[in-house]
Chains A and B, each alone.
Chain A
Amino acid sequence: MATNVYSFPLPPNFHRWTVVCILLGLLAYAAQAKSPVGNLSTRTSVADVTVTGQVTDEATGEALAGCSVVVKGSQRGTTTDANGNYRIAVPNGTTTLVFGFIGFVSQEVVVGNRTAINVGLKSSASELNQVVVIGYGSTTKRDMTGSIKSIKSADFNRGIINSPEQLIQGKIAGVNVTSASGEPGSNQTITIRGPGGIRSGSTPLFVLDGLPLDNSSTGGATNPLTFLNPGDIESIDVLKDASATSIYGARGANGVVLITTKKGKAGTSALTLSASLGVSKLARPLNVFSASDYRREVTALGGVLDDRGASTDWQREVTRTAITQNYNIGFNGGSQKLTYFGSVGVQQQQGILKNSQLNRYTGRVNVSQRMLEDRLTLDVNLNAAYTDNQRPPIGSLVGGAISANPTYPAYDSTGAPFQYQGGTNPLIALKLNKDVTATTRVIANISPSFKILDNLVYKLNIGLDYSNANQDVQSLANAVPQQDGRLDSYYNTNRNTLVENYFTYTLNRGSHNLTALLGHSYQKFFIQGRNWSINKFPITPVEPIYNPGLGQDLTLANNQPGGYAIQNELQSFFGRATYNFKDRYLLTATVRADGSSKFGSNNKYGIFPSFSAGWRLSDENFLKSGPFTDLKLRAGWGQTGNQEIPAKITQALYTAQVSGTTSYPLNNSNSYPAGISYTRLANPDIQWEVSTQSDVGLDFALFNGALSGSVDYFRKVSEKILLQVIPADPVQPASTYWTNVPDMRITNQGLELDLNYRYASQSGFRFDIGGNVTFINNVVTNSPYSVITSGSANGSGLTSATINGYINNQPIGTFFLKEFTGFDEKGMSTYRDVDGDGLVTDKDRIAAGSALPTKQFNINTNLAYKGFDLAINFNGISGNKVYDNTANASFYKLRLSKGLNTTPEAVQYSQESINNSAPVSSRFLKDGRFFRLNNLALGYNLNPKAIGMNRWINNIRLSVTGQNLFVITPYNGYDPEVNGNQAINGVVSYGIDYLAYPKARTVIVGLNLTF
């Protein structure tokens, strides 16, 4: 059962109640069957009648606490207790009780002459009536025609969660979530049905409670979505195909992720407290030489052995056992007219690298008020978050730790970091450098909806997303190694405002059901960044961050302030019509006209249509008797856009400035002319990237829903690819310009399969196993370029080499490299001469595989028995490769001979010369497939009665969660799931591992109390 902090907990001793419930249920059924119907009408009384009973989950028999029981048509109501029991006085003449509970289909029961009514509610999660959020509205799983997957909080990944992508990693076919590194709050790359573009900006659109978020960085290095408290999230709905996403038009091409936060429920009240403590350690250290191995290997190479006699495990020195604490208070409830949800959360997370820390403080209030005879509903969501991220110098720490001489001591006799000045003791870099970012983000939206007519609703949505980040990058003044000290401060402000007006019209006439939506949306984005710096601090205990005024050197050459401010606007008109006939034949059509200030006057607006249809075969007579509880065929087609390019592309920039690279002395005076130069070329004709997607899917459920799932085939073709290109003619005022590459296409096609099987035994044992498999084939065609390169290599001497290259008939993320074939007689590397011209040059590069997996598979299992529950989540991918740039830059013979540490990989070839260089080649390209036990959570629900606390406490839950418990992979770097950003000119790179923050293995113990 769910362990999420705000979820409604299991009552204690539920296994016993299960038996009781089932028995009561059977009795009630039997009684009902025997009762003559005529009795109902004959009984008349003027007094109140007390009705009692129990509410249970129909599927499991588990009692439902906090379920609302309301007398229909009145204000009278109550809620069930911890054991699902209720008692309500029903006025005479009342015929119906309404039973409602979050996550379940509410049920109306005719009272008749009964005084005991037990009700089994159907979980909406397991049923076709499950609500699916679709953007500007919702539908049910039964009626949806697009490819949408809804994940409820109960099914989220557990543990230390920094951003919502992590909650759904591995839960949805066709959705690939990859973390950039193991750093707390690191960026997550999420692609839905494969990347449709080749520049950065393939991230889906995130919509939080109806407010589309901007994917821009909010400052600092953390994922901008880190501000969300995962405990506040009720559900995440992922719109995958164009028929679902085209309602978001120009931002729909990469899929849409709709995040819905928790709401209160009338007639209930609950308070939840939760606390957890996590312990993380470096999961897989690199296998660098120990001190004794190092001595032997350096000597064997004839290298310079500088032996200081110590035996230091530098990776251990720069890492630590990291502690994460998480506390949450949540409350929710409401009356008929007013419902509310509130929460306050704190998470203080240490990273496994020393001095790495991410703290998150969040508060949320969601309120819904009904007024004017329930015609007006006012929804208000308010979220405030403060995150505080401290980063050590990651590259120096990781790079230093894997290269430092292991015979050097980490600390000297005084306990200070040992100083070896030529290289740098990573612990000194740790002491002298830090990078701190404090981000405040406030998101508020108010959305009144007014029922003009019974079937016409007008809704206004006004939203604001504001964030403010202060980043300080500090290096302390120091004597040895000598440095002057410097403070750089960056201030970022992002503001995103939204105004939407839309009307929803519904018509139900006989077998015809029509819903129509028409609206207008205006969204404005403002992003501003400014920075200042100051140099040369005295060596004092006062950190520059706390007193920048101590700096003694401030010149335009070294400290020129910088800044930018960008404003973008989007104006849209949208409409959707859904029609179904006899609940069997379903049609949806949407259109959105999107206008953007990023495009020139001739291409301001793009129009993005879609159509989809569904056929519920299981409702047809010829299938009614079969095993299918549900069988639906879906098909859709649509167009969506992508407008994620920088602002101002349609305008040239021609500036006059005095700087070292634009000005020059023209005479002997000390005043220099402002040099005039083009810093940007205009492309007034630039327009949207367009992606056309078709989808055919089948949803099915068999054996009363025990086995359910869906299969989808999709094909997504992106055209008018937006790209920042290097002009063919190198003689250009600016080295690149933006264009829609003519004719080029990127096609993603694939097959997705979701399967779920659930089982519940009479004894209370529940078992639920689900999984998904995705096969994606991504290919670039008709590119006019022989190659579009990306993935700039890192490390000394490697910086102008490229690792990724996008070429025709190969997928995005392709590694385009020389093929390493071994060594010549001098011990120097040889590469395959592909074109046979007798020379090995860059013309001999080959497509050596891609970073994109061809297969993704995930297994999710839930088990529950007698108060215990267990959730296990495995993730795996295959068919992908990883470029080990860390090994390329750090682990070769020449370095070891010069005293830098390496792994045994550097000396694996005895015939290799120590003067052999290691350029970028397939030598460092490695198989990146893996199978990971990503998440394992074991919970136990303790009976408060057993410890005498049942008067106040509804539930006590203890849990242990493991994250990244093991990973099986042939890859020998820190982790194959890595995606360092090595983009060139905005052309995104894939699968490059360079001194990434290593991943942690984490165990978390948690306690939840519900009152």
Chain B
Amino acid sequence: MKKTLLSILTAVALTGTYSCTNLAENVLDEASVSGLSNQQLADGNIAPVYALLPTIFLHTNYFAVQEISTDEAILPYRGGTDWGDNGIYLALHQHTTTSTDPNLLNTWNNLVQSLSRSVSAINALPTIKDGSAQVYLAEARGMRAYYNMMLLDLFGIVFVKEDPQSTSTVLRGEAGYNYVLSELLAAEPNLQTTVGPGRLSKGAAWGLLARLYLNGAVYRNRTATSFTFQSADMDKVTEYCDKIINSGQYKLASDYFTIFNQDNHTNPELIFAVDQRAELNGTNRLAYFSLSGDQFPIPAYPAANGTDGPAITPDFYQSWAQAYSPKDPTVDPRFYRQNLSIYTNPADSCVSAANFNINRGILRGQQYGLLRVNGAFVRCPDGNYKVGKLFNVTRNRPTLAVNFTEQVNYTVAGSDYNTGYRVEKYEFSKKSTSGRNLGDADISIIRLADVYLMRAEAKLRKSNDAAGALADVNTVRAARTFPTAPPALTSMSLDLLFRERGFELYWEMVRRTDMIRFGKYEGTWTEKTNTDVRKRIFPIPQTAIDGASNIPGYLTQNEGY
């Protein structure tokens, strides 16, 4: 009996030893960072502040909300599984977007997360003993202001947060505008001048300040029937534009489309841009989005094609056509660049891989390009690539030519794969294996031409200084000398300036803001007839509203949604 008792006790003791635990959680697969050098800490804190920019500026995020909602872009349901999306792009164009729109949600989520990362960096950087910490701190503060500026513009809301543990204060309207302004002004003195265009430099802050002052009237009273542009604001616009122009640091590009090339990081026209690197964060979405599914821009990659996404509206096209009538708008080098001579010389149908570049700008009519058969491009006897008329082969409509038409709308005929003139502003990345990935081009946020046009607008709005404004506009026109500069304008007005901003900045994600400021957002174009001024801002995504429902009154939905 004693023996058995002993053996039981032994069993209990043995298993007990194995099984006695203090239940401390043992984390195996992750560790919070430690042991970083001061420089790693400083760099590691500022990098995430910028890191979501490529996602924010994605074709379906900021691009969609800023452009498809305007007269510059329309995205009908192309057919089959292409861009049906249960009507969200139709709604965006018609100003009937609802609070469950997934693209708005993605844009919102990336913006608020970037705000949070800015707050974290602002709190961490002062404790890091590294030479760059001071500058990074100013950049984090400036970027927090920039993200809030985007939220203010899109959703009419601003979040004030200093302490990561606290709950943000919500500001709207003029209070939000004043906060963003004061933060940008506070960040500016400690910014560097030469870290651009990928990071927030002094020039970038000046450009943002000019843009903010220019839109101040809108942000102060969003739903006003007509905006009151204060002359003090306009003076500030001029002041900051002058600072940029007089700095001599930036230069208008003579060859317009080089501003949007893959190697544009060093283009002196860019003041502030999203720094995309193929090997880290770059996408090619802006270049691929509008092209036909049968346009294959890269000889090396037979899987890289377009998607028959958005087109420009006939209304926007007519603004070009009428401006240059009876001449073709191609007299303006910003409208179009022919890179394949087959469009004008049908005999030139064999092109080497190195020389194959698709046309840029606004693409009309029959398209030519590489011919893909059984997954490979057709070659000429000399080994070069065969270039020919394109057909909608990938849409299983091999007899339907890829022939872009002016008319595009929501009717069955108007929404076919061919409808609408397309835009290839950014260069299609030569590295992009899928057409979607591996982009290298920086995405422009502020560039010098915009600065000239903002100054022209301030001059018009302050004192109707048409001569001064005309000079700024013609400075930009005159600079685009490759291959030949567009004709100089002879008169200037707000309407002409609005048109000129479209010519210079089309598809650069400023159109919605411009249309609101110029009082054009309630106009009628293609399928759009809505005139509700409350649509000047978007609804706050429903998940955010629902998530905040435990604090009554904290996050209320924008009026009209």
Using a CB–CB distance below 8 Å, which chain A residues touch chain B?
A: 302-304, 306, 372, 375, 419-423, 450, 452, 458, 460, 462, 478-484, 499, 501, 520-522, 557, 563-569, 571, 595-598, 604, 647-648, 650-656, 658, 660-668, 670, 672-678, 725-733, 735, 784-789, 795-802, 805, 839, 841-843, 889, 892, 894-895, 897-900, 914-920
Contacts and interface: CB of A to CB of B under 8 A. Distances in A.
B557 A843 contact: yes
Cβ-closest 6 pairs across A and B: A917-B87, A726-B547, A522-B19, A797-B85, A797-B86, A479-B375
Contacts of A732: 112-113, 116
Interface string B382-423: 000000000011111100000000000010100010000000
Contacts of B79: 304, 422, 898-899
Nearest to A784: B550
Contacts of A481: 394
Given A422-B394, A672-B47, 17 more contacts: A303-B412, A422-B293, A501-B15, A522-B18, A522-B19, A656-B33, A656-B44, A660-B281, A675-B51, A677-B120, A728-B550, A785-B546, A802-B100, A841-B561, A898-B80, A898-B84, A919-B100
A664 to B, nearest CB: 4
A730 B160 CA distance: 11
A401 to B, nearest CB: 14
Given A677-B48, A728-B554, A897-B412, A452 B4 contact: yes
B328 interface: no
Contact of A920 (B100, B106, B548): B100
Which of A670, A726, A839 has the most C-beta atoms of chain B within 10 angstroms of its own C-beta?
A726
Contacts of A796: 81, 84-86
Given A302-B412, A785-B550, A733 B120 contact: yes
Interface string B1-35: 00011001001100110111101111111101100
Given A462-B15, A730-B108, A676 B396 contact: no
B77 interface: yes
Q: Which of A450, A520, A732, A735 gathers the greatest number of chain B CB atoms within 10 Å?
A: A732
A565 B91 contact: no
Contacts of A917: 86-88, 90-91
B51 A661 contact: yes
B159 interface: yes
Contacts of B281: 660-661, 663-664
Interface in B30-85: 30, 32-33, 36, 40-41, 43-55, 77-82, 84-85
A918 B117 contact: no
Nearest to B555: A728
- Between A420, A914, A915, the greatest number of chain B beta carbons within 10 A of the residue's beta carbon is seen for A915
B142 to A, nearest CB: 15
A651 B27 contact: yes
Contact of A501 (B12, B27, B392): B12
A148 to B, nearest CB: 28
Contact of B543 (A571, A663, A789): A789
A82 to B, nearest CB: 44
B354 interface: no
A786 B556 CA distance: 13
B305 to A, nearest CB: 9
Contacts of A647: 25, 27
B547 A898 contact: no
B303 A565 contact: no
Nearest to A895: B84
A787 B555 contact: no
A567 B544 CA distance: 33
A668 B440 CA distance: 13
B27 A648 contact: yes
Nearest to A529: B29
Contacts of A421: 393-396
B102 A800 contact: yes
Interface in B150-177: 159, 161, 164, 167-168
Contacts of B458: none
B486 interface: no
A656 B36 contact: yes
Nearest to A425: B396
Contacts of B293: 422
B4 A676 contact: no
In this complex, which of B80, B168, B437, B548 has the most chain A Cβ atoms within 10 angstroms of its Cβ? B80
B378 to A, nearest CB: 14
B541 A304 contact: no
27 contacts: A302-B412, A420-B396, A422-B80, A422-B395, A452-B5, A460-B15, A480-B375, A567-B28, A596-B23, A651-B27, A663-B281, A664-B48, A673-B44, A676-B48, A726-B543, A729-B159, A735-B109, A789-B542, A796-B85, A800-B542, A802-B542, A842-B542, A843-B557, A894-B77, A898-B78, A916-B87, A918-B86
A729 B168 contact: yes
A728 B547 contact: yes
Contacts of B80: 422-423, 898-900
A313 B102 CA distance: 34
A788 B545 CA distance: 11
Contact of B40 (A422, A520, A674, A914): A674
Nearest to A655: B33
A633 B322 CA distance: 91
Given A660-B54, A660-B280, A450 B199 contact: no
Contacts of B85: 796-797
Nearest to A461: B15
A661 B106 CA distance: 14
A552 B424 CA distance: 31
A530 to B, nearest CB: 10
Contact of A730 (B104, B542, B555): B555
A897 B84 CA distance: 11
Of B23, B43, B394, the most chain A CB neighbours within 10 A belong to: B23
B481 interface: no
Contacts of B348: none
Given A676-B45, A895-B84, A917-B87, A597 B26 contact: yes
A731 B543 contact: no
A416 to B, nearest CB: 13
Given A727-B547, A735-B113, A483 B303 contact: yes
Contacts of A422: 79-82, 293, 392, 394-397
A597 B23 contact: yes
Max count, chain A CB within 10 A of own CB: residue among B26, B112, B560: B26
Nearest to B560: A839
Contacts of B543: 726, 789, 800, 802
B447 to A, nearest CB: 19
Nearest to B32: A654
Contacts of B106: 800
Contact of A663 (B36, B51, B395): B51
B86 A565 contact: no
Contacts of B99: 841-842
A675 B47 contact: yes
A905 to B, nearest CB: 15
The listed residue with most B CB atoms (<10 A of its CB), out of A479, A660, A839, is A660
B98 interface: yes
Contacts of B5: 452
Contacts of A798: 86, 102
B376 interface: yes
Contacts of B90: 915, 917
Residue among B302, B392, B412, B539 with most chain A CB within 10 A: B412
A734 to B, nearest CB: 9
A651 B25 contact: yes
A193 B474 CA distance: 77
Contacts of A567: 25-26, 28
B119 interface: yes
Contact of B48 (A571, A662, A787): A662
B199 to A, nearest CB: 7
A678 B120 contact: yes
B25 A653 contact: no
B547 A797 contact: no
